DNA sequence: TTTGATCTTCCTACTAGTTGGTAGTTTCGT
DNA sequence: ACGAAACTACCAACTAGTAGGAAGATCAAA
């Protein structure tokens, strides 16, 4: 009989929430304890140190991402549709304010000042997303589902930068719809068979 | 007789340095005092509170940006060349590690948890850059110096997102050259008279 | 089925160090 | 002599982290 929600998961969820809003140095064990409803010391039982906590969070974040990607690849055959689904995922998260920013975007900007264990995990996340997008680009190009103007791995980096830049812009302006405004032409440009 | 470097400027410079590396909550008055070589309390003489300090920093950052843009517009007539110069500015900053990240990109990602006075100033910065880029896009389009596929203000947002996304990627991978790899095709796409 | 040992989880109470900020004083150039 | 700019010496609040104990749950042996 497995619990639907463990304290450890609650701690991770509130950490993610706090991390998205203010970064690594923007929250404390006291903040988490208030949200979860347990004492500070109890958090140390589950995650001995802050580094342990955030390292585990990022590790799971990447693993969840890998799992979601696997399902997406299985359900959606067309490469362009995959990129659209990826963009729509973030558009939805930003617009309903549920997870309006990527944990790893937050941490990547703080990278030089992060504990190395966390920094490594963050870099790993970006390597994963980047190589996944590159594989999508390559396959889509070969099968005529995408029209590329650069090498697949360059297009992948460019697309990733657009997504994360759009995420930042939406936050900077306080206007969620900016994300889709930026992504729409980016996806359009990758669409084949546009008469010209 | 004006000094070439005032203490106040030294404080702002070291604040910028610290801010770029770890964000608003990633540095303290103690850190600044160590770099500048004065006591913590002396910093409060120049900037009564941390909010005052960072608000002033961002205000000047925007003003400096506006001045640089004015000079750039004056020296470089061609719109595409302006965009290239803007991209090259950041490429150089990132590659020589002098100012490898934008102060306002850092703060924008932390926006929800920032003091409102600082947050407002950050939003102002992005509005400025965005409307400047939009004006460059519009002028360049009219004069045939740029080939746009969307409305000028959309192209401006997309270009801005690419620049800031590329900045983040360069930091995430720890590879400065990633910035130029991403910007090159973005600028290429805006270049007119490419045979197709 | 009851006992007892062990494990997990949470607690109170505490620590040493850091945070942004203040009060009041001295130093120094004009 | 006067203001600016620096200083020493604080402060209350907060930081991550620790020590040690109480309440339950689990499970094996009697």
pLDDT at B193 (0 to 100): 73
pLDDT at B3 (0 to 100): 53
Per DSSP, A150 falls in state: S
CB spacing of A172 vs B126 below 8 angstroms = yes
Give the model's confidence band at B60: pLDDT under 50 very low, under 70 low, under 90 confident, else very high. Answer: very high
pLDDT at B1 over 50: no
Helices (H) and strands (E) in chain B, counts: 9, 0
pLDDT in tens, A110-146: 999 999 999 999 999 999 999 999 999 999 999 999 9
Q: Identify the structural domains of chain B with CATH numbers, from first to last.
A: 54-190 (1.10.357.10)
Gap between the Cα atoms of B66 and B195, Å rounded: 36
Nearest chain B residue to A128 by CA: give it.
B173
Strand D: positions under 7 A of a protein C-beta atom: 5-10, 14-20
pLDDT at A1 (0 to 100): 34
Find the mean pLDDT for residues B165-182.
Answer: 98
**Of residues A126, A162, A174, nearest to B161 (C-beta):** A162
- Strand D-proximal residues of A, range 46-65, CB below 7 A, are 48-51
pLDDT at B2 (0 to 100): 41
CB spacing of B182 vs A158 below 8 angstroms = yes
Structure tokens at B26: 């990633």
Give the model's confidence band at B109: pLDDT under 50 very low, under 70 low, under 90 confident, else very high. Answer: very high
Question: Which residue is closest to D15 in terms of CA–C1' distance?
Answer: A28
pLDDT at B58 (0 to 100): 98
DSSP letter string, A50-112? HHHHHHHHHHHHHHHHHHHHHHHHHH---HHHHHHHHHHHHHHHHHTTSS-S-HHHHHHHTGG
Gap between the Cα atoms of A166 and A75, Å rounded: 26
Interface predicted TM-score (ipTM) over 0.85: yes
Averaged pLDDT of chain B? 95
CB spacing of A164 vs B169 below 8 angstroms = yes
Distance from CA of A4 to the nearest CA of B (A): 30
The ranges of chain A with pLDDT < 70 are 1-4, 194-196
pLDDT at A55 (0 to 100): 97
CB spacing of B112 vs A171 below 8 angstroms = yes
Gap between the Cα atoms of B45 and B23, Å rounded: 23
pLDDT at B151 (0 to 100): 98
Interatomic separation, CA of residue A52 and C1' of nucleotide D29, rounded (Å) = 39
Show residues of chain B in contact with A109, CB under 8 Å: 23, 101, 105-106, 109, 168, 171
pLDDT at B145 (0 to 100): 98
Contacts of B73 (CB under 8 A, 6+ apart): B82
């Amino acid at each position: 009989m497995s619990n639907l929600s463990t304290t450890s998961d609650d701690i991770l969820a509130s950490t993610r929430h706090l991390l998205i809003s203010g970064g690594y140095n923007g929250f404390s064990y006291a903040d988490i304890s208030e949200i979860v409803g347990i004492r500070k010391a109890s958090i140390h039982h589950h995650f001995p140190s802050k580094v342990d906590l955030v390292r585990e969070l990022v590790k799971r974040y990447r693993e969840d991402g890998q799992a979601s990607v696997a399902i997406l690849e299985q359900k959606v055959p067309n490469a362009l549709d995959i990129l659209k689904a990826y963009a729509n995922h973030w558009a939805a998260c930003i617009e309903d304010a549920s997870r309006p920013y990527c944990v790893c975007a937050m941490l990547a900007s703080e990278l030089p000042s992060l504990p190395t264990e966390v920094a490594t995990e963050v870099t790993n996340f970006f390597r994963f997303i980047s190589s996944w997008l590159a594989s999508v680009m390559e396959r889509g190009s070969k099968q005529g589902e995408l029209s590329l103007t650069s090498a697949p791995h360059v297009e992948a980096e460019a697309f990733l930068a657009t997504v994360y830049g759009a995420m930042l812009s939406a936050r900077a302006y306080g206007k969620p719809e900016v994300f889709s405004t930026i992504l729409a032409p980016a996806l359009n440009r990758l669409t084949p068979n546009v008469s010209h």
